[in-house]
Structure 1
């Protein structure tokens, strides 16, 4: 079975897309995976058979030079890849609608459709089916819709976050842009045989909204990894160590600030929060966090170092914001980092609203100590720091949850069988 995956980022195991899709497809038998990436970057995986990339810069260059082919085939050994994505970076960091509109226009008039490299991948290798990660991006919808039309093969959709609903508090231009996006997404989703999603609430909502079958999947783990989850260890840290690793948004800053000030006020000397992040914080946030005695800012570390640091923790912190904007962004997603936390054997402290899928899962299956209401922070921290939370029971629950819902063979077999059944019906 030849499967084509059209992605917004390169297939690199160190990024979110690459990590997730390598987990879903690694070791799957009787498949050849082809990838078209609409951003340039290092190919770092052992999954793909052939990869083609194009980028904002190359598509813009094709407008200026009609003879220039904006696509290229990626060699696995190519370590020297130009990653100059000025427009992409500006659009992502600023979140200004005008940047996205300009980007869409460049791709709309660029000559990527004429690319010989792209045509070779599509027409010479002739994929049997398209497995489509779906993005909140008119540009990606246009590219994917074009390739779907050219290939004329069955399409399966993959959605990891809510891409369709309109976020709160958008500007007039932002709302118009999202309405424009909704029309494209509806057309794209209607071309799919079914959807695979990462959250049950998304499966429920999207199946009704688009009248399409939705199947729940997620990052899988092997039975060997589940069996090797370490037993709960007795802490030797004084004070107890709560570790947060990840990005810090405005909402996550608020949670870290809440926890730190609560510890300072009521549990001083009992716990410290170590924060490891690559985020560049505004000066006012930085000063506020540095003024809290129970918080230590550690800066950025590598992925390998993160794993070692997490093993030194008494509690690993997962945080989701309480604002309307944050709830909208995370309510239908599930952070794959939580699975890594479960496998570490270190107790989990989660803070966030129950409407958010990841918090709901941790709460409903009793996998973590959860603060779902900021007013409960003091009481839950008191139980946590005084040993009144039964983490041995939560460890048993984690093992049961992983065996039941995250078995890698079960997830991969489901993906493969659904793809095969779809092809057999044609």
Structure 2
């Protein structure tokens, strides 16, 4: 959504696979292939699949609820079989329809913008559109959706093999590759022979300057986001560290508040909803922005153990851009070789912990030296100005897309 804010919405068409309606001002033409309809088409192959939608359409709430329930169940169970079953359903399902072909041909695109997703079925849809139109493509890779580095177990390797069969040819044959962070550029250019360009969420800094802050008493640490792929274990370590520091000092010097729609298991919940650490569950987007703004330290957390530590190897969360553009002091936790930590290191824009022991050390350091909160908040803000300013990023995107057309 953020990438195309600089584009004329009448000149953008989106093909998407969710059950709900699009919620974005950057596009006015949509074609929906919902997963619920694909599942039904396996049992009823005569069904008509796919439809042109507008924001004024009435959504089938039952389909949205069923889709949400599937995703919640998949995340909670962390099953390696479910992604494979999903791919099989999409392989059998009848998404390649006259309605989809007509939508693409009626819009008559000049260029195809292709995000490389972590699912093979999207690659099949994208390759069909590329072949149908014969138009040049620009790709966007915002995660490690190609290597086997994060795979654990036979089923994950099988799924990644299927994904590579789609992502590889798309990446190698595109006219331009965009990536989200410097470390990913290095990996992608080596792997696919591309000359990729960094493209991230952009921020309008017009009339904005860094505002110095006075820390709260006690200090307020805040985490907002999902707790999947090992992040829950990392947050439990932060909770343990905060409680240990408070005990050591004999008073509550710091508190942590976790806002997430991920439901932790009983063992993790006992640690993150304990003492000065509070699990607050799911809240609205507006409430998330409020608690972030009122925090002293925002936490960026990735897994520290096993293959889960590699999941964010080449990713860059848009939350990072939000944090630093708002001048927040970031406690960033993860292995040094993953892209987000590499970014913070290159820009000296966060307080970083790579191990359990360093989490304890950095929490105690912040508590004993609260002036670090303002120091790193200022560093973060000017890092955002250098790397994510709206005018610079929009010009880069538009100029390169026009170059691809030529």
Work out whether the TM-score is over 0.5: yes
Deviation at 1:76, TM superposition (A): 0.9
Tell me which residue corresponds to 2:23: 44
Q: Tell me whether 1:143 sits opposite 2:125 in the alignment.
A: yes
Deviation at 1:416, TM superposition (A): 1.4
Deviation at 1:94, TM superposition (A): 4.1
Uncovered stretches (5+) of structure 1, i.e. residues with no partner: 1-21
Deviation at 1:42, TM superposition (A): 1.7
Q: Deviations over 1:57-97 (max 9, x none)?
A: 21233344454320111121224233233666655554544
Tell me which residue corresponds to 1:381: 363
Tell me which residue corresponds to 1:25: 4
Map 1:2-13 → 2, pairs under 5 A? none
Tell me which residue corresponds to 2:208: 228
- Residues 345, 404 of structure 1: alpha-carbon distance in 2 compared, 3 angstrom cutoff: closer
Deviation at 1:393, TM superposition (A): 4.0
Q: Tell me whether 1:357 sits opposite 2:339 in the alignment.
A: yes
Tell me which residue corresponds to 1:254: 233
Q: Secondary structure at the match of 2:299?
A: strand
Q: Indicate the larger mover: 346-355 or 272-281.
A: 346-355
Tell me which residue corresponds to 2:91: 108
Tell me which residue corresponds to 1:54: 33
Contact 2:299-2:332 within 8 A present in 1 as well: yes
Q: Deviations over 1:131-159 (max 9, x none)?
A: 00111222111111111111111111111
Tell me which residue corresponds to 1:318: 300
Tell me which residue corresponds to 1:327: 309
Tell me which residue corresponds to 2:386: 404
Count of residues in correspondence between the two structures? 398
Deviation at 1:407, TM superposition (A): 1.3
User: C-alpha distance in 1, partners of 2:83/2:353?
Assistant: 36
Contact 2:39-2:93 within 8 A present in 1 as well: yes
Contact 1:264-1:293 within 8 A present in 2 as well: yes
Q: Tell me whether 1:277 sits opposite 2:277 in the alignment.
A: no
Contact 1:327-1:355 within 8 A present in 2 as well: no
Q: Tell me whether 1:238 sits opposite 2:217 in the alignment.
A: yes
- Residues 177, 44 of structure 1: alpha-carbon distance in 2 compared, 3 angstrom cutoff: closer
Tell me which residue corresponds to 2:245: 266
* 1:172 maps to which of 146, 154, 162: 154
Contact 2:213-2:374 within 8 A present in 1 as well: no
Tell me which residue corresponds to 2:13: 34
Contact 2:327-2:378 within 8 A present in 1 as well: no
Contact 1:251-1:321 within 8 A present in 2 as well: yes
- Residues 66, 340 of structure 1: alpha-carbon distance in 2 compared, 3 angstrom cutoff: same
